[in-house]
């Protein structure tokens, strides 16, 4: 069995699910447009520039989850999937995932975006495992805080290793392991797999992939 890891935002998706979730809530009138939209855009630019303080961002991003009931959140997420996520999934992205699943590879989506937003998206792709930032929950409601290590930059390595250890098979034990990502923020994990693949990469990752001879593909 080989290992196939997939970043989500701007990799399997043609956009950013976390950013779009915020915009979706703004458009629904759940969040104040003037305040939240500016902050959402600021954090998104920091992410692209590689300067994002993940703990500051998560304090911002997870707050809306704590302010609403699980029933409200679930209803909104169904609309979010139909309106924002499904249009961002290309046939090529579905085919890539299907090829690895069909080969019997152990597949996981590995994303910095929280698991509330991303679990239904992983299920849409048919990927059975999700390694994501986990929002803290107490008595069935989100608290607005993160549980454990954020799945971001070096944190992705720690979270993937912990997941694999739970399955009794460390990363080094796989004859072949690949990670598909668009972002220079994912260089730490890209460097740890046997076969890193840059997918519609940002400028920094494109330059690094060219320097190292990594394959570059497009799912657009």
Inter-CA distances, 98 with 92, 95, 107, 126, 185, Å: 10, 5, 10, 8, 26
Q: Helix, strand, coil: what percent of the chain each, to 5?
A: 55, 20, 25
Mark 148-178 as b/e (b = at least 16 C-beta within 10 Å).
ebbbbbebbbebbbebbeeeeeebeebeebb
Residue 7 bears catalytic tag: yes
**How crowded is residue 66: how many other Cβ atoms within 10 Å of its Cβ?**
15
* Catalytic residue of the set 9, 182, 186, 202: 9
By residue count, the chain amounts to: 220
Contacts of 113 (CB under 8 A, 6+ apart): 8, 9, 16, 17, 18, 132, 133
- Return the SS3 of 128: coil
**Looking at the annotation, which residues are catalytic?**
7, 9
């Amino acid at each position: 069995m080989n290992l196939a890891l997939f970043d989500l935002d701007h990799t399997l998706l043609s956009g950013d699910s976390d950013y779009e979730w915020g915009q979706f809530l703004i458009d629904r009138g759940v969040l104040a447009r003037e305040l939240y939209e500016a902050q959402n855009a600021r954090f998104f630019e920091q992410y692209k520039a590689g300067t994002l303080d993940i703990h500051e961002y998560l304090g911002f991003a997870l707050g809306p989850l704590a302010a609403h009931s699980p029933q409200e959140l679930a209803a909104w997420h169904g609309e979010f999937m139909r309106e924002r996520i499904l249009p961002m999934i290309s046939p090529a992205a579905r085919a890539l995932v299907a090829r690895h699943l069909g080969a019997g590879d152990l597949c996981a989506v590995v994303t910095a975006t929280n698991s509330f937003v991303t679990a239904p998206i992983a299920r849409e792709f048919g990927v059975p495992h999700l390694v994501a930032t986990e929002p803290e929950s107490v008595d069935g409601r989100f608290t607005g805080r993160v549980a454990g290590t954020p799945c971001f930059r070096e944190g992705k390595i720690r979270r993937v290793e912990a997941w694999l250890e739970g399955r009794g098979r460390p990363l080094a034990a796989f004859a072949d392991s690949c990670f598909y990502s668009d972002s220079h923020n994912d260089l730490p994990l890209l460097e740890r797999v046997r076969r890193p693949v840059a997918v519609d990469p940002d400028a920094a990752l494109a330059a690094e992939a060219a320097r190292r001879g990594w394959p570059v593909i497009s799912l657009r």
